[in-house]
Copies of this chain bind each other. A is one copy, B any other.
Amino acid sequence: MNATEELADDKPWVELAEALREEDQEAASSLLANMSGEEQRFAMAHLSGEQQSDLTTLLTPDDAADLLEHLPDVQAADILEDMAPAEAADVVEELEDEVRAEVIREMGDSESEAVLAELDDQTEAEEIRDICSHEWDTAAALMNRSYAFFNDQLTVDEVLSKLGEDAEEYSDLDVQYVYIVDEQHVLQGVLRLRDLVLTPRNRRVADIMIREPLSASAEASFDELCTLFEGKSYVGLPVTDPDGKLVGVVTSKALREATAEHQTEDYLHSAGILGGEELRSMPMLSRCGRRLAWLGPNILLNLLAASVIASHEETLAAVIALAVFLPMVSDMSGCSGNQAVAVSIRELTLGLLRPTEFLRILFKEGILGVINGLVVGVVLAIVAAVWKDNLWLGLVVGAALALNTILSVLLGGMVPLLLKRLKVDPALASGPILTTCTDMCGFFLVLGLASQVLERLV
């Protein structure tokens, strides 16, 4: 392979951009057809937003849908928003069922409505509207609305024949259970495909189905669904309306994907990325704005912490060496506090800790804080005393770090519980709250203790 080929291989988007410039639909289609889904995603991430939607418009709706299915939902939504509604609707019609609503949900309200209004199948449009009207992680939004169901009067043989006749129709469904309903579509039982195969053909399905199966209401929240699935190996859980009628099926796959999405959201929030995924192919100003939305409140919190230093400037002026240790004390105790935050968030997630158990944190983190506080405090005390050749300076910063570590692990352990009770996302708010408190207390402890023994430090 020569250098040029290597370059082209590394930059698959270059040829795509070329085909786009020449409006060569065939070339673009065949380039994409030769890429794996991963390569398509990589290539698209390197085109500008405008190029992305031009390319999608250039392709046939079918090819365009294939492409969008490989992109993160938020990117697919951005591309559709930039297309003419009629053209976007053609693409949306070709998207797979499970992707369609998720992508529409990521679009702005007016943009998605414009596209939905253009769909040929307005029943489908109405269904998507309904899905999007529910929170993304509730049963109503996560459930499949197509599923295999049969009347409870049928025999095993009749059901197997029907499955055979309509094989085409069922091939899109992930048929592992079939649902047994009465005339009014009220759920009567669940039948595993396996049991169907392994039973004499003349039995009635009502005799071999699992009766009174566990089901969720359409309004069930993500947490409720997790509790229903927890510890069980269901592949799917039927969803019923208040009259007991079957309206859909939440699969364990959908629930696991939702769990992964929650974890991703937690991660992004804890790092100060709000409003969902940020991709570097998004418009620069919107990226700047979203990041500033997080930095703004942080400036205020930082000013609050800095005001503690400002109010002790005289002490600091007398012992300038203290300034060296101020950021160290606040940073180190911040680290300790973050560890406690992570353990609390994990224990809450795993169901090992309830949001009311402040006393447990006080005990478990309190002892740990005393031990770890002593260790890091003594280390810093020795370092400071030797470095600045002043035992009292060592004592002041060491004691401040030890005390602030205790405080910080206690706070770090409790803040997620408090936020959970207040229904605020712990991953989002624990960090800034903790940092501000440990900064303020750390500065106060160093400068406050120093002012008490000022004559020994000078």
Contact = CB atoms under 8 A, between A and B. Distances in A.
A38 interface: yes
A295 interface: yes
A342 B263 contact: no
A442 to B, nearest CB: 9
Interface in A293-350: 294-295, 298-299, 302-303, 305-307, 309-310, 313, 316-317, 320-321, 323-328, 330-332, 335-336, 338-339, 341-343, 346-347, 350
Interface stretch (A101-109, A116-124, A129-137, A351-359): A351-359
A306 B292 CA distance: 28
A299 B333 CA distance: 10
Given A291-B339, A354-B42, A320 B321 contact: no
A171 interface: yes
A211 interface: no
Contact of A263 (B38, B175, B264, B354): B264
Interface of A: 10, 36-38, 41-42, 45-46, 69-70, 72, 160, 163-164, 167, 170-171, 174-176, 193-194, 196-198, 227, 230-231, 233, 252-253, 256-257, 259-260, 263-264, 266-268, 270-273, 277-281, 284-285, 287-288, 291-292, 294-295, 298-299, 302-303, 305-307, 309-310, 313, 316-317, 320-321, 323-328, 330-332, 335-336, 338-339, 341-343, 346-347, 350-354, 356, 360, 364-365, 367-368, 371-372, 375-376, 379-380, 383, 387, 435, 439, 443
A163 B198 contact: yes
B439 A277 contact: no
B328 A326 contact: no
A282 B174 CA distance: 42
A45 B352 CA distance: 6
Given A42-B351, A264-B346, A303 B328 contact: yes
Contacts of A37: 230-231
Contact of A335 (B298, B307, B309): B298
Number of copies: 2
B299 A332 contact: yes
A233 B309 CA distance: 58
Contacts of A70: 231
Contact of A45 (B256, B342, B347): B347
Contacts of A352: 41-42, 45, 72, 279-281
A351 B38 contact: yes
A266 to B, nearest CB: 7
Sorted from nearest, which 9 A-B pairs have the closest CB atoms? Answer: A271-B342, A37-B231, A45-B352, A323-B323, A280-B364, A167-B198, A317-B320, A309-B324, A302-B328
A267 B262 CA distance: 13
A256 B260 contact: yes
Given A252-B253, A263-B260, A338-B271, A284 B197 contact: no
A332 B41 contact: no
A364 B49 CA distance: 14
A419 to B, nearest CB: 16
A259 B230 CA distance: 18
A320 B327 contact: no
A233 to B, nearest CB: 8
Contacts of A383: 299, 303
Given A193-B193, A287-B368, A295-B376, 12 more contacts: A70-B231, A72-B352, A263-B264, A267-B342, A271-B338, A279-B343, A280-B343, A280-B364, A288-B375, A294-B335, A302-B332, A317-B320
A339 B376 contact: no
Contacts of A41: 350-352
Nearest to A44: B352
A129 to B, nearest CB: 26
A310 B323 CA distance: 8
Contact of A342 (B273, B325, B327): B273
Nearest to A307: B324
